[in-house]
Chain A
Amino acid sequence: MKEKSKQIRRYFSFGYDSLDTLKHYLEDMAKQGWMFVEYTGMRLVFEPCEARELNFAVEIFDKTSQYATFCNEENLEYIEYCEQAGWHYISSFGVLQFFYSEDLELTPIETDDRMKWESIWKAGKPNRFSIGLILPLCAILQLFTILGMNPMGIFLSYINFANLIVWSALLINGIVYWIRTLLWRKRCLKSIEAGEGIIPQKHMTARQGYTLLAVILCLWSGGGILTAVITGDHSPIMICVICVLVVLMLPVILWARRLAVRLKLSPSMNLFMQLALGIGFGFLLMVAAVVMVLFLSLWDEQGHSEWEFSAKEAGKKGEVSFTVPVDDVAFFFDAAGNLIEQPQEKRARKDSGYSTKRESEGHFLLQLDFSSQTLIWNYAGYKQEKVFAGMFPTEGIDVHYEMYQSRFACLLDLVEWWGRKGRISQGSLNYPFEKAEVLRTEETGKVYCYYDENAVTREEEDFEYYQYLFRKEHSILKLLCSQELPEETLEELYQILP
C-alpha cells in the first residue's frame, strides 16, 4: 500500500498544446528523486524514488473520452501496445496517458508529428468552445446589457462597474486566446512541414495563474468592501459571497471528478455530474445573491433617511416638501412656491396617505437620488393611486426631483451630454436643454428653466409644469414643479448645491 504521507503534490500549468513541457518537468522531478504517480486534474502527485534519468511520455489517446474515469478496452489495448514497445504505464486522466521508460533512446510513442498534432487539436476542442466561444458570447451579451440599456449604471453601482471590468476582461481574454491559438496553429503546421516537430504553446506557470486569480478575486471583493464602507451602500459586499463561492467551486468540481473515478461512472455520467454541479453551484450563487440583496436592503432600510409628507396637512396648509441629499436638507414650500421655515423634526406620519420619499439609484462614482414616482393620495376621504408624478391637489404644489452628484466633474459632463443627446432614457438625465431658458449664469454653473403648458395633461384639468435644472460643478439637480418657483427659492437651492 502506498504511503500517502510521503507523497508530494505539485501544481503545474499545462494544456494539451504543451505536453512536451510537462514531459520535461516530470523528467526533472525524477532527476531530483520524485517519481510521478498520478495527475488529479489540478495537481501532479509524486512519490520518492532513486534520483535518476528517466524518459517520460505524455500522450493523448483520442479514442477515449476526456471525461473517462477508467480505461476502456481500446485504451487498454493502446496501453498494451506501448508496454510491448518498452514503455511502462503510469496512469491516465481522461485522454491523457502517462508512461515512462529507463531507456532514454526508446522510440517515442508517437512518431508521426502530423497525427500527434491532429489529436492535440482535437483534444483542445472543448477549451476552444468554452474559453473561445461561450465565455466571449456571454461577455458580449452582458456588456450589451450593461452598456446598451443603461450606461450610466456603471458609474452608479460598483456591481455594474465590476461586472463591466470582469466581462470586458473575459472578452479580451477570448480574443487574445483566439489570436494566440491561431498563431500557434500556423507556427506548428509550418514546423511540422519542416520536420521540426510540434512547438509547445507557452502557458503561465501555476503560481502565476493562481496569483493572478487571487489578485482578481481580492481586487473584486476588496473593491466591494471598500465601496460599501465609503458609500454606505452595502450591496457590493455581495461580490465577496460570489468570490468565496467561485473559490469553493474548483475543489468541489475536482472532488466530484475523484468521486466519479471511485464510482467508475461512465464518461456521460461524469460529464452530467460535473454539469449538474456547475448548474447547482450557479443556482446556489443566485440564491446567495438574492439572500444577500434582501438582507442588505433590510440593513440599508434601517439607516435610510426617508422624508414623508402629510397629505392632510398639505390639504390644510398647501405645503409640500422635498429633501436635497446634501446633508439631508429638507425644503418646505407653501402653495405659492415660497420656502417656509420648518424644523427638521417635521417628519411625516406614516398613515397620512400621501407621501413623497427619497430613493436612490446608486452610490458609487456617481450618486443619483430622486423622489418616489408612486403617489398615493388619500385626501379628505378620497382615495386613488397613480403612478408617476405631476398630480397633486390643486391647492398645493407638486415637486419631484432627480439629483446627480459626483466628485468627478467629468462624469457630470457625461451625464449632461447624455441628457443633451437624449438617446438613453433609462436611468439617465432627460432634459430639453435646447429649448430651456437660462435663468442664471454663474462661474460655478447655470440654472435652466423649461416650461411647457401641455407637458402634463389630465382628463379634467391641465397642470402647469416647470422643469428647473441646476448645473453646478459637482451636482445636477432637475426639479419638476407644478408651479413657478420664486427667484429667492431658486437662489437658495442653487447655493446649497455642491
Chain B
Amino acid sequence: MARAKFQTLTEQMFYILLCLREECCGMDVMEKVASMTNGYIQIGAGTMYTLLADFQKSGMIEETAVEGRKRSYRITGKGRDMLAQEYERLQRQIKDYENIYG
C-alpha cells in the first residue's frame, strides 16, 4: 500500500527526498540529512534502507548506479511532485497558524 503510505511525508521521508535532488547513496543521504538539519533529524540505517526500497517501489526515486552493494539513487518527477505537494501542505499549515497567532 505504497500510495496510502506516502499520502503525507514524515520528516525523515521529506529530507531523504530533498537530499536525492542530487544522485547519492544511502549513507550519503544519512550524512546530508544530519548536516542539513544540524543533527535535528537522524535517520537510522534500517529506516533508510526500508524507505529507499519503498520509494523506489512507488516510483518516487530511481536507481542510478550500483557498485557492489552500494546503490545510488535520484529523485524522479513523481518524487518531486510529492515533495512539492508536501511543501504546499506545510505552507498551508504555516498560513493557518499565522492567521490565528500571527
Contact = CB atoms under 8 A, between A and B. Distances in A.
Interface of A: 59, 61, 63, 73, 76-78, 80-82, 84-85, 87, 107-112, 114-115, 119
A85 B31 CA distance: 10
A109 B45 contact: yes
A59 B46 contact: yes
Contacts of B53: 63
B46 A84 contact: no
Contact of B69 (A77, A114, A119): A77
B44 A109 contact: yes
23 contacts: A59-B46, A61-B46, A77-B49, A78-B45, A80-B69, A81-B26, A81-B45, A81-B46, A81-B49, A84-B27, A85-B27, A85-B30, A85-B44, A107-B42, A109-B46, A110-B44, A110-B47, A111-B12, A111-B43, A112-B44, A112-B47, A115-B50, A119-B50
Contact of A108 (B12, B44, B51, B69): B44
Contacts, number: 54
Contacts of B82: none
A84 B10 CA distance: 24
Main secondary structure of the interface of B (DSSP, over half): helix
Contacts of B44: 85, 107-112
A111 B27 contact: no
A85 B26 CA distance: 10
B48 interface: yes
Contacts of A87: 45
B88 to A, nearest CB: 23
A112 B45 contact: no
Contacts of B50: 115, 119
A77 B27 CA distance: 12
Contacts of A63: 53
Contacts of B47: 109-112, 115
Nearest to B34: A107
Nearest to B71: A77
Contact of A110 (B26, B30, B46, B71): B46
B39 to A, nearest CB: 9
A107 B27 contact: no
Given A111-B12, A112-B10, A85 B45 contact: yes
A239 to B, nearest CB: 47
Which 3 pairs, one residue from A and one from B, show the smallest C-beta to C-beta distance? A85-B45, A111-B44, A109-B46
A108 B50 CA distance: 14
Interface in B46-88: 46-51, 53, 69, 71
B93 to A, nearest CB: 18
Contact of A78 (B30, B42, B49): B49
Given A84-B45, A112-B47, 10 more contacts: A59-B46, A61-B46, A77-B69, A81-B27, A85-B44, A108-B44, A109-B47, A110-B44, A111-B43, A115-B50
